[in-house]
Structure 1
């Protein structure tokens, strides 16, 4: 039985990448050691992390005045690092269009009890269960504000922000965890981008931070480990980094480059997601909870049947048929197909055939 992994993260990785890592696992580059045994101060690992950065810069066309950091703690740690480094004595605006954006804002509010800054809720769609991207007011943003925080893809709710607001020069900071390298954004439109690796980049454990140099903090942050400037000055080697995860990210970057780069990835992702959206739209049995088609994610596609009992039956039958991890997030229920870069189009086609059979059986 063929297994298709629809997990929202940690997620499917390219088979070619896994095979290369397997081949090099015991003896990396004739070193006689596994990558997991290499010192992070060794020449072998120095080559790995430098190549990873160079490849990411090429893929995303990252300008020279941006630093690229490979950090730990997941994107959730960035919810704290961001205001600690950038927002002291200033306002910080938050667009809350999903559960992760809400967590980022909630963490900012918590920090504001002890750190001198003002988190401001700029826009939210929580009152309708995050079924759309809210209109983002562009007038009234304090020009001296530290940043406007957005989440470019809402993994749980299946919405994406494609058109950025005009913030009149206030830096846009983006949590791009679930559609980095999947949608072709212009890095220079952002002051900072951060992303957990476990969707489109590699295994869990690495966090990518892309930050414009003028935004690096001049005053020390609360902790050296949470200090962007210290991390940048030490080239992500202030302490032992997640060496194997960075190596895997490098292999993924190489793979994406071979496939044609980020623009090609977006083209393929729109093709994959389009097949599923078209099927849902023509069905009287399945429906999408996303209110507006223009907000639909190409990475995470939630859908439901006519009732929760059928949702439960679908998830059980799908799992038995080899469609793994398709159950929706516990906070929203239903189903969710995560179609990241490494997910094959054959898996979408197989899912559509299964959905058609299930509908005919339970209509």
Structure 2
């Protein structure tokens, strides 16, 4: 057996152990939950030093809590980043990051396929404060390079993207952004650090909706951003402390820490079942088009194979009957639940045109590759054969 003592521990080992020693908490195997809003100082000078930033410690629960700090340390380690910040939701992480880094007159270049609320933030929210966004097809690197010929503060994209699972070349886009003097922000919610690590591919910051796979059980709301320590400290000091005040609760931080312990195991099963579902759907007569990065039929499969270690737990497909077919499929499933979100133990099905991407107008959806017949499945942890049976029955038994 090889000597691994000088090797970095594996992903699951770090997800379970990193950043915590039971000896620091009276031997408690599970890290304690610090349910406190404020912290006492040993002396006036100690408190003053904390406020001046000359000493590490805790002042007030809005910006930092020991349970939160452990989660942030662990998430940063798993993503290969210097530091992390946990917040109350994925949108809190995104808005705190963008509001901290951008100001009036700044410009963002973003991929045209985004989660509906992220699209609304960029197209309608930040524009109220004089921050403009140009939406570009990030699978077309020439178009991205052209957009970056005009100064931009940052580029923003998801990969795989919500809801049609387009895959963006993180290394290529990050190189273009860096050459143009822009920061690269990547939403890694769908892949998680189990399957993809954007920092290693050149991204500056990574954001997550921890509500999804990181928590994994559909029982919490949370978000996170990881990246260079200086940038993360700025987002904590501005984006969290007074721009949003979107503080994560200690109990929620604890639940995500618990979820991380099984993340690698859960993703393996999500991917196994999602691959089986995708293989079923790719030749089904009712399906016009399938989107699953793990299959060669995906338009960006070659990029996915380079930067991801699996196809992920989501499958998107377009039904030939359009809007009515999508709604009909959703109404016929019996095992899967009609619900937004993803990454839960339960299989979830949603119709982007009427649900998560209703913020896009009909013309915008058509222009951005979100057809009315598109259905998105978040494949859960049920027995694979049961998931397949449910889908076949909902498709009409063809």
TM-score, normalised via structure 1 length:
0.65
SS in 2 for 1:105: helix
**Is 1:303 aligned with 2:280?**
no
Contact 2:324 2:373 in 1 (8 A): no
Distance change (3 Å), C-alpha of 1:40 and 1:59 = farther
**Is 1:53 aligned with 2:76?**
no
Output the CA distance in 2 between the equivalents of 1:309 and 1:83: 37
Equivalent of residue 298 in structure 2, options 282, 293, 299? 293
Output the CA distance in 1 between the equivalents of 2:222 and 2:96: 15
Q: How many residues align?
A: 297
Distance change (3 Å), C-alpha of 1:161 and 1:304 = same
Deviations for 1:1-40, whole angstroms, at most 9, x for unmatched residues?
xxxxxxxxxxxxxxxxxxxxxxxxxxx9999xx9778325
The alpha-carbon deviation at position 155 of structure 1 amounts to: 3.0
Alignment of 1:91-110 (within 5 A): 91-100=107-116, 101-107=118-124, 110=125
Deviations for 1:216-255, whole angstroms, at most 9, x for unmatched residues?
549x85884327xxxxxxxxxx896311110011111222
Alignment of 1:255-266 (within 5 A): 255-256=262-263, 259=265, 265=267
Deviations for 1:115-152, whole angstroms, at most 9, x for unmatched residues?
4x4x2415149xxxxxxx55552256258632111122
Output the CA distance in 1 between the equivalents of 2:38 and 2:336: 46
Distance change (3 Å), C-alpha of 1:143 and 1:40 = farther
**Is 1:197 aligned with 2:210?**
yes
**Corresponding residue of 2:278:** 277
**Is 1:225 aligned with 2:265?**
no
Any stretches of 5+ residues in structure 1 without a counterpart? 1-27, 126-132, 228-237
Choose 96-105 or 303-312, whichever is displaced more.
Answer: 303-312
Poorly superposed stretches of 4+, deviation over 6 Å:
28-31, 34-37, 320-323
Output the CA distance in 1 between the equivalents of 2:169 and 2:377: 20
Any stretches of 5+ residues in structure 2 without a counterpart? 1-24, 40-57, 59-63, 302-310, 338-345, 356-371
User: Over the residues paired in the alignment, what is the CA RMSD in angstroms?
Assistant: 4.1
SS in 1 for 2:334: helix
Structure number with greater CO (CA < 8 Å, separation at least 6) is 1
Contact 1:197 1:206 in 2 (8 A): yes
SS in 1 for 2:192: coil
Alignment of 1:61-80 (within 5 A): 61-62=80-81, 66-72=82-88, 74-80=89-95
